[in-house]
């Protein structure tokens, strides 16, 4: 599948998701190129139907800027009790709807918005589907103070760490001033075991294993069908 085809599929999944957002609800909006299509589609609903939301929270400045450009007011997660629905992209989605996220480096805010959401929908093109989690570097956000120790530990554990780099070849710095180490665990041997290990590693801020969180995935297939896969 070339990029043009893939973008078309992303747009189809995103448009479908935008149709099911309820007016007056509290919406969480994720990050990435698929979500950018979702935001565009929300903007179209706003223009055509005068569609409004009670609150919107986002998982990145990129999404926030795009939403504000379309006239939506964006709130801080800290000011919201609970999000009704979060729509986000994903880097890989397994058969059981567990996922790898964070390809765009927004994993920490993405997970914080996700766990404060009543419902989570991911929007993907079919290339993101895998039977078992893997096929994509697993991002781990680490604090600069102990990142070298974390990196060496991951090497010793056989997790094949790589520093995420920015376009200038420097270490990628997250929204929160941290670094990202991408692990090459493919397939992820025991997702819950690895998540538990990372959750208990001092210096790890967050990781891209999103397990038991997603309720529904809207998948655009290259045969033109849109699949709505639920837990």
Query: Which amino acids are annotated catalytic?
Result: 110
Whether 74 contacts 56, CB under 8 Å: yes
Q: Which residue of 12, 91, 98, 206 would you call a contact of ligand 5RP, by CB under 6 A?
A: 91
Residue among 145, 150, 144 nearest 182 (CA): 150
Residue 73's CB is within 10 A of a number of other CB atoms, namely: 10
- Interface of this chain with ligand 5RP, residues 14 to 33, rule: CB under 6 A: 30-33
Segment interacting with ligand 5RP (CB under 6 A) among 18-26, 95-103, 184-192, 197-205: 95-103
Q: Which two tokens stand for residue 203?
A: 């210096």
**C-alpha–C-alpha distance, residues 141 and 145, integer Å:** 12
Q: Is 128 annotated as a binding residue?
A: yes
Question: Which residue bears the tokens 């929007």?
Answer: 123
**C-alpha–C-alpha distance, residues 101 and 163, integer Å:** 16
Binding mask 30-59 for ligand 5RP (x = CB under 6 A): xxxxx-------------------------
For position 89 contacting ligand 5RP by CB under 6 A, the verdict is yes
For position 161 contacting ligand 5RP by CB under 6 A, the verdict is no
- Interface of this chain with ligand 5RP, residues 109 to 148, rule: CB under 6 A: 110
Distances (CA, A) of 127 to 3, 188, 200, 207: 11, 18, 32, 22
Q: Which two tokens stand for residue 68?
A: 């504000």
Instruction: Please state the closest distance from residue 138 (CB atom) to ligand 5RP, in A.
Output: 11
Q: Between residues 47 and 166, which has the closer beta carbon with respect to ligand 5RP?
A: 166
Q: Which residue of 16, 64, 92, 101 would you call a contact of ligand 5RP, by CB under 6 A?
A: 101
Distances (CA, A) of 22 to 53, 76, 117, 142: 8, 20, 14, 36
Q: How many residues bind ligand 5RP (CB under 6 A)?
A: 17
Annotated binding-site positions for substrate: 31-34, 88-91, 101-104, 128
Q: Which residues of the chain form contacts with ligand 5RP (CB under 6 A)?
A: 30-34, 88-91, 101-107, 110
């Amino acid at each position: 599948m070339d990029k043009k085809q893939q973008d078309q599929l992303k747009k189809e999944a995103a448009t479908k998701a935008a149709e099911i957002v309820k007016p007056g609800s509290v919406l969480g909006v994720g990050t990435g190129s698929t979500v950018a299509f979702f935001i565009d589609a929300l903007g179209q609903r706003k223009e055509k139907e005068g569609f409004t939301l009670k609150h919107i929270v986002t998982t990145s400045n990129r999404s926030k800027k795009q939403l504000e450009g379309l006239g939506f007011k964006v709130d801080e997660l800290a000011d919201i009790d609970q999000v009704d629905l979060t729509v986000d992209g994903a880097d890989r989605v397994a058969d059981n709807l567990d996922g790898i996220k964070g390809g765009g480096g927004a994993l920490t805010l993405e997970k914080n918005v996700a766990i404060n959401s009543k419902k989570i929908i991911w929007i993907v093109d079919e290339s993101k589907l895998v039977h078992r989690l893997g096929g994509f570097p697993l991002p781990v956000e680490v604090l600069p103070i102990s990142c070298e120790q974390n990196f060496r530990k991951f090497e010793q554990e056989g997790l094949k760490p790589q520093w995420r780099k920015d376009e200038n070849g420097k270490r990628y710095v997250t929204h929160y001033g941290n670094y990202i180490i991408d692990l090459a665990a493919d397939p992820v041997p025991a997702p819950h075991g690895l998540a538990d290990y990372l959750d208990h590693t001092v210096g790890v801020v967050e990781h891209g294993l999103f397990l038991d969180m997603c309720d529904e995935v809207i998948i655009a297939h290259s045969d033109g069908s849109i699949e709505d896969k639920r837990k």
